[in-house]
Structure 1
């Protein structure tokens, strides 16, 4: 276990870890608070879908730019300014909600600004770990980061449910704003690393990232799979979950418990990843993605709250094991100077269908009921989990460990 904690002995990684973990203490509470801020205004599932769609739409528009920027300037600087911007946005959301005069269209506009800030945070953060620790520590560095995230995600939704039910959603959102500012302050101490793409034209850098993505068939297949799976999960869980909880299980407290169950599963998956070192990345990802359909089926069947919580625990375990295997594989298979841009392309493809999914799912749920749409989301998630295994390249994705501390990558080659 001492070896597994070795990345925390690296000062730069430890500072990055602290900043990211502080931020997630607010991020874990914010989705529950935002959902019920909209619903407490008298908003419908369609109104909530517009707010979520604005956030995702901004990420779709700016994610590639965020990735290109993170490969041109020190990623620590990007994280400082983007976190500070996100803090300003969330602070404004909190002020509007606490004023008692919030309107849905205002929350839509602020969600767009928040998504813009996140479009710069995500690729910079994903590309930072590989530069802060030696290659043989990457897997454990990813696992430690995910484990810390998930510790706070366990308590965050449940606390948010209680806060929303007692003093209202504005205070939970205000804490999210404070954690963004704190993360920006902590990350001011990150070192400025050498940037290989500094002299490259911005548009040329974008084009290079897209070409590098397209040149890897295994990457295209996995990202397309995750785009469909994430769509099913976000529509079923993030959009329709709070609506289902409000109509069938009493509201924010029940949804906080259900969301906390997912976080418990994520934590269990992170702890397992510190011990278990999977080899077949494609199989792990397929199994993990399939687990995400379990709570959607439980909600569609109007199961008791405790059954849904068990389903979210299962989904969390599968999700985290899948993410960790994929993150480590991608960091080692892709050259570091391309990693932020490739992560941005990855994220963009995943996000593209989500605004349309949100736009359709909310009105469909209002027209035909929540359960039929939940069934469709579960079916979409299951299908996306299994179809990629038909590809030889996906089945060939392996992490080969030469010893306990130095994983060596085997990137799949095309079989013609």
Structure 2
């Protein structure tokens, strides 16, 4: 089925690109035309189903680069996970995936689950059996004995076990490899967040073995030394990138500049909880914590968007609330949209498929009321969401005309 979407403005994705009085033509699951309304209408012909959205904008579907569908975002996600069998957990993960989609996320990267459940869910979504965003999954993250998220099943010791685990994860159908380069806050009695769990050489082994399987590597790294090791090892993305040392924040410009030079992406993995941090610590201290993002940006490090959805209070259905952190920090809305579409797609290796409105790209698009270039609040006012060319639940009420 061909669909013609007409809006006051088309935002193709890259910051600064805008088509007033524009239109997008979709054929099945693929975008075939993007441009001024009159031109696209002419090419669409009389057979296309027409959607007119006055006062609205259309942009690419959004990308959340850091979620954990196996966690429930409650006060004890680890306890809930460990108390759930797979047959209970998988339907709950499917519902969380639907929550992601309903808030405009058409592509998501799951960075840690148990027993390959996220890959199973990905495959059922791909077959059209359940509704959800396009999923990329890492399987169980590599970690050390009693390390961060050891309970997910990715514990390794030494080079041979690292290589075997990476290869087994790849053979199980993972889309990328996740490694816990530093400790984290979720796992009791594990190394502190700033402490490295793997050295540079171990991380190089992860990257090398993943490369043999054609997979990218995401490194969880709060600690400054862990960030430096991950960058030197050549990972694709650094998750959190908090620059923590034993005594507090410890930014290293030389490491950040190496990230920029090598095109290594930073994902803050920050949810809508940032507002509570500002209220709790005050704007000065919160500014010091989140100011690392403007600092990284000033040094040329590419930033991508993710929420760590599944952790306590990190919900699946408020991606816009997380993006508003960047608005608070002074990023222009158009730049934030670019990060959540074009840049994130490139980081995931999907830059030729999603993240833009352009001919040949997948028909993942979001129509919202108002002007998102004037403020991200407009992204909350969804009028139509297509995922692979299909309207998401609730949007079928959009009345076709013509």
TM superposition score normalised by structure 1: 0.24
Give the number of the structure with larger relative contact order, counting CA–CA contacts within 8 Å between residues 6 or more apart: 1
